[in-house]
Structure 1
Amino acid sequence: MYSFIIFLALVLITSSFGATFRPGPWYDELIKPALTPPGWIFTPVWLTLYLMIAFAGWIVWQKTRFIRHPVIICWGCQLVLNALWSWLFFGLQSPALALVDILILLLLILAFIRFSWPVSRTASTLFMPYALWVGFAAYLNLGIVLLN
């Protein structure tokens, strides 16, 4: 159980870092792509996804217990890129840099799904909604790059 608290804490640190960079007047003035959801939807979706990310990381840790295992490396790297996106997009106001970040993030999420499948199908499955959401977020990010 102690190890789950560590994984949960790492995810909370990531979400806290991302939450320090919020949309503001700059974002409000951007032309948004079709299908941009209302702002209120992001909090419950990310809360759910962050819990799933922590649980998936903990599950594979329980199975591997090796920090250099490819699945653990993917998990840690995706967490870093997840945290960086808000800073790049909202903090630096650079949708283009954020787009590069989110595309690499999506690749790492897919790599986690691939590498975790033989270790734990549950962990792999927990990352599938995350991949879908980040894919959708990449569409939104690309749309902002192209429209502005």
Structure 2
Amino acid sequence: MGKVTQFIISVGGTLLLGSLPSVFTFGSIDTWYEGLAKPVFTPPNWLFGPAWTILFILMGTAHYLVWSRHGIKATWSFYPQMVLNMLWTFLFFGLQAPFPALLEILLLIFAISIMLLSFGRKEKNTRWLLAPYLLWVLFATALNTSIWLLNR
């Protein structure tokens, strides 16, 4: 398989998978989420789409770098964190359950950390590509925690 194809699969696949859970946000953003008490550091709703698009492109690029240089088996740590990423959206927005989402996001942080370490050992540049993702999810954890506490 050519490198261009690998890049398209890595980045395009990550964008596609990452966009699938948005089905759970459409019905909740303007209704349930809008009615929640939120902390002062809550970003405007319009920021989430562009932020996640950039993060998914960075994640897909990291996946491509490891896959193209070390084989698909070397990307094993990518897939559990992607599933957990998608599950969080379902829990938080689909089920409208901030506390279960909070517990799940802690697993996501662990899975991202494993991926960052695994990828970083193989390709040092992937650390820079994945660090914004980890930082954003840590921020999301603070936001999730605050929303849960403010709306118990």
Could you tell me which runs of 5 or more consecutive residues in structure 1 were left unpaired when the two chains were aligned.
Answer: none
- Please state if 1:114 is matched with 2:120: no
Whether the 8 Å CA contact 1:56–1:127 is kept in 2: the answer is yes
Q: CA deviation at 1:143?
A: 0.8
- Please state if 1:89 is matched with 2:95: no
Relative to the length of structure 1, the TM-score reads 0.91
Structure 1 segments of 4 or more deviating over 4 A? none
Whether the 8 Å CA contact 1:18–1:86 is kept in 2: the answer is yes
Q: What is the distance in 1 between the residues matched to 2:88 and 2:30? A: 16
Q: Which residue of 2 aligns with 1:45?
A: 51
- Please state if 1:101 is matched with 2:131: no
Q: Percent identity?
A: 38
Q: Which residue of 2 aligns with 1:63?
A: 69
Q: CA deviation at 1:66?
A: 4.2
Superposition RMSD in Å: 1.3
1:66-120 deviation per Cα after TM superposition (whole angstroms, max 9, x unaligned): 42x4xx2221111111111111111111111211221111111111121222210
Could you tell me which runs of 5 or more consecutive residues in structure 2 were left unpaired when the two chains were aligned.
Answer: none
Relative to the length of structure 2, the TM-score reads 0.89
How many matched pairs? 145
